[in-house]
Amino acid sequence: MSDNGGAMDRQRKSKKGKSLATIERTEAKAKEDKRDESEWRVILHNDEVHTFNYVVDSLTNILPEYNKKKAFDLCVVVHGSGKGTVTKAWKDKAEQYCMGLQRRGLTVSIAPDKNFEGGGDGEGGDGDGAE
C-alpha cells in the first residue's frame, strides 16, 4: 500500500507541475498577443541576382493586390533606393507574405511599422497597398 501512495504523490506532483506550466504559457501568450497589435511592413531588398520580370512574377503570385504595373513600380523603387515597402499588414499576414517571397529566393524582411526608418515606400507614401 505504501508503494501505491508514493506513486499517487508523484502523479499529483506531476499534474500540478503541468497545470502550472500551462498557466504560465497562457499568460505569456496573452502578453505576446498584446504586443503584436500593430501593423508590420513587408520590405523587399535589392539584389543583383533576380531580374525585374522574376520579381514582378513573384509579387503578383504571392500578393493578391499586386498587378504587373504595381509590381514593376516597386521594382524601380527598390532598384534605386535599395529597399521598398511591399505592403503593411498584421504580423501574421506579413510573415506569410515574407515567407512566400523568400521561398521564391527574394530578399525580404518584416519590420514593425512604427519602427520603420528610411523611405523606399513603393506605395506612394502610405505603404498600405491601397490605390
Q: Cβ distance 87 to 39 under 8 Å?
A: no
How high is the pLDDT of residue 124? Answer: 39
Q: What is the pLDDT of residue 20?
A: 45
Query: Per-residue pLDDT averaged across 73-98, rounded?
Result: 96
pLDDT at 27 over 90: no
CA dihedral 46, 51, 57, 60 (to 10 degrees): 30
Q: For 30-78, write each residue's pLDDT tens digit.
A: 555 555 568 999 999 999 999 999 999 999 999 999 999 999 999 999 9
In the prediction, which pLDDT does 131 show? 33
CA atoms within 13 A on the CB side of 93: 13
Enter the pTM of the model.
0.63
- The pLDDT value recorded for residue 29 is 57
